[in-house]
A and B are shown apart, each in its own frame.
Chain A
Amino acid sequence: DTAVSQTPKYLVTQMGNDKSIKCEQNLGHDTMYWYKQDSKKFLKIMFSYNNKELIINETVPNRFSPKSPDKAHLNLHINSLELGDSAVYFCASSHVIRSTQDQETQYFGPGTRLLVL
């Protein structure tokens, strides 16, 4: 009954490789996000998708490419991995009630710990 799930939980890879992280939510939410948490625990938004449409794209290298095949999934593909990409990547999801613009809560996945050697 996991709400937001990510795979894999751990990922160890060599510099220059290409890897993907998958995220799925079963909450029926229409918006999904990717956040990066660095070694100092600082959290920053990377991307946000609403109904499969990209709505937030922070200053992220174009080696990072999000893909949303449907509302319940948001995957993150990383090309040519670099040492500085080592971090914990969190997926999150939320729902917006457009008619009232009601406050939404973002629910987070357990994180994917990426280590680039």
Chain B
Amino acid sequence: AQSVTQLGSHVSVSEGALVLLRCNYSSSVPPYLFWYVQYPNQGLQLLLKYTSAATLVKGINGFEAEFKKSETSFHLTKPSAHMSDAAEYFCAAQTAAGNKLTFGGGTRVLVKP
């Protein structure tokens, strides 16, 4: 069965520093991959998705993620953290169109002034 692992349930970064959130998937067939963000008491908002057209995917709010098949990874990065980036981030995989999303455990990002 498909599984998604996010390394680190909490990440603390200083404002202006690099944000790196790790995601690994387990699938012999590269799935569709997504990053969602959840702000406190809100729903999930799509940050970006992997479409197999390009391994480096750019999303909203300055985030990007790189798909690496050899490492079965889809890590999320942002060069310079902003206070407004404090939120919970979820990596998710989908093995086929119309299929369910399998989520990682989430990573809470804290941004220090």
Contact = CB atoms under 8 A, between A and B. Distances in A.
Chain B associates with chain A: yes
Contacts, number: 65
A14 B47 CA distance: 37
Interface residues of A, number: 32
A89 B64 CA distance: 28
Chain B contact residues (Cβ within 8 angstroms of A): what range?
A: 20 to 34
Interface in B69-113: 88, 90, 94, 96-103, 105-106, 108
B51 interface: yes
Given A41-B88, A90-B43, A110-B42, A104 B101 contact: no
B106 A111 contact: no
14 contacts: A41-B106, A42-B105, A42-B106, A43-B101, A50-B98, A55-B98, A58-B100, A92-B101, A103-B49, A103-B51, A104-B97, A108-B36, A108-B45, A109-B43
Q: Which 4 A-B pairs have the closest CB atoms?
A: A45-B100, A43-B103, A108-B44, A110-B43
Interface of A: 4, 31, 33, 35, 40-45, 48, 50, 55-56, 58, 90, 92, 94, 96-97, 101-111, 113
